[in-house]
Amino acid sequence: MMFTRRRFVKAMCLAGGAILSKACRQTEPVSWKPAYAKLEARGRFKRRIEQAYALLERCELCPRRCGVNRLQGQRGFCRSSDKAIVYSYSPHFGEESPLVGRGGSGTIFFSQCNLRCVFCQNWPIAHEGRGREITDEELASMMLSLQGKGCYNINVVTPTHFMPHILNATRIALQKGLHVPLCYNTSGYERPQIIKLLDGIVDIYLPDLKFMDGAEASRYNLAAAYDYPEMAQVSIVEMHRQVGDLVTDERGNALRGVMVRHLVMPNRIAGTQEFVTWVAKNLSKNTYVNIMSQYRVEHKAFEYEPIARAITSEEYVEAMEWAIEAGLTNLDSRSLSQLDIHRRRVR
C-alpha cells in the first residue's frame, strides 16, 4: 500500500489519539475510593460518628484525658467546646509533594491545640485560638469548596480535639460528592484507642514524631507531655497498621498511607537518631519520612536556652546521614535537596 501524505497524517492522528487517551486514563483515579466512602457503603460510618461524639461528654479524646463535658460547655486543656473552630482553609502548596500535586493540598487549619509547643510556628492559631466557630455543615462546605478548587486531598491540620466534628463533616460532604483522600495531620499527641476509631475513615496519616525522650518532650510544650513519645509511637504504629506505607496514583499523588514528619532541633533535642532507628524497626524502611530543617526560634522558644537558636548545617547533615544509615529509603525529596545544600555549607 502506498503511504501517501494524507494516509501518513491520518495514521499519526490515530496514534496521537491513542497516546492521548492512554494518558487521560492514567490521570483518572479509576476505581480508587476513599476509605470513608467504603465505610459508608458498609453502613458503619454513622455509628462511628456517634461513638466519637459521645466521647465529648467526658472528653478523653487525647492523652490529657481532661474528663470535661464539652457538650455542656465545659473546657479542658485545649479550651475547645462542642463546636469546631477553624482559622483558615485554602489550597496549600508547601506540604510534601505527594500531597500537593498540581492542585494543592486542601488544608483546613483548626484552632487551639492539645500540646502547644513553646516553639510553635502556628502559635496565633494553636496558642491564642484565633479562628471562628463553625457548624459541621459549614466544615463540610469547606471540604467541598477545596475539592472544587482542585485540591487532591482534605488535609485537616491539628485535628485531634475536633475529631468528632471532622468525621461528621466528612460524612455530610461525602453525601454531597466528596471523593478525595482524607489526610489527618497531627502533632502525634494522640491516644491509640482514639486512632483505632479512625480505622477505615482516614486515608493518609501525617503525624509528627517530635521527641523521643519524655523529659525533653515535657520541657517544651505547655501540656508538659512526658508521655508524648510513648503516645505518639504507639499511635503511629496503629496508623501504620491501618493504612501501611504510602501509596500514590500514577502521578505520584498520595492516596493512602503514613507519612511521618520529624523536625530537627538544636542540640539533638528531638532525638533524631533514635527517631530514624525507631521508624526502621517499628514501621518499615520504606516509610515516607520528612526530616525537616526549618526549625525557627518562634513564640516562646527564645526563653529556652537549648532551643534558642536555629539548627546548624552540621546538625542537619548528621540527621539525614543517620536516616540513610538506618536504611530509610523513602525520604522526602525536599529533605534530600536540603541535605545537598547543607553538605555544601559544611565542606
Give the residues lining the site for ligand SF4 (CB under 6 A). 59-62, 64-66, 68, 76-78, 80, 114, 161
| Min dist. Cβ of residue 216 to ligand SF4 (A) | 21
User: Which is closer to ligand SF4, CB of 68 or CB of 108?
Assistant: 68
User: Which is closer to ligand SF4, CB of 125 or CB of 178?
Assistant: 125
User: Which is closer to ligand SF4, CB of 105 or CB of 114?
Assistant: 114
| Min dist. Cβ of residue 221 to ligand SF4 (A) | 12
Q: Which residue is nearest to ligand SF4 (CB)?
A: 76
| Min dist. Cβ of residue 283 to ligand SF4 (A) | 25
User: Which is closer to ligand SF4, CB of 66 or CB of 182?
Assistant: 66
| Min dist. Cβ of residue 77 to ligand SF4 (A) | 4
SS (H, E, C) the chain: CCCCHHHHHHHHHHHHHHHHHHHHHHHCCCCCCCHHHHHHHCCCHHHHHHHHHHHHHHCCCCCCCCCCCHHHCCCCCCCCCCCEEEEEEEEECCCCHHHHCCCCEEEEEECCCCCCECCCCCHHHHCCCCCEEECHHHHHHHHHHHHHCCCCCEEEECCHHHHHHHHHHHHHHHHCCCCCCEEEEECCCCCHHHHHHCCCCCCEEEEECCCCCHHHHHHCECCCCCCHHHHHHHHHHHHHHHHCCCEECCCCCEEEEEEEEEECCHHHCCCHHHHHHHHHHHCCCCCEEEEECCCCCCCCHHHCHHHCCCCCHHHHHHHHHHHHHCCCCEECHHHHHHHHHHHHHHC
User: Which is closer to ligand SF4, CB of 232 or CB of 259?
Assistant: 232
User: Which is closer to ligand SF4, CB of 114 or CB of 155?
Assistant: 114
| Min dist. Cβ of residue 111 to ligand SF4 (A) | 12
| Min dist. Cβ of residue 31 to ligand SF4 (A) | 37
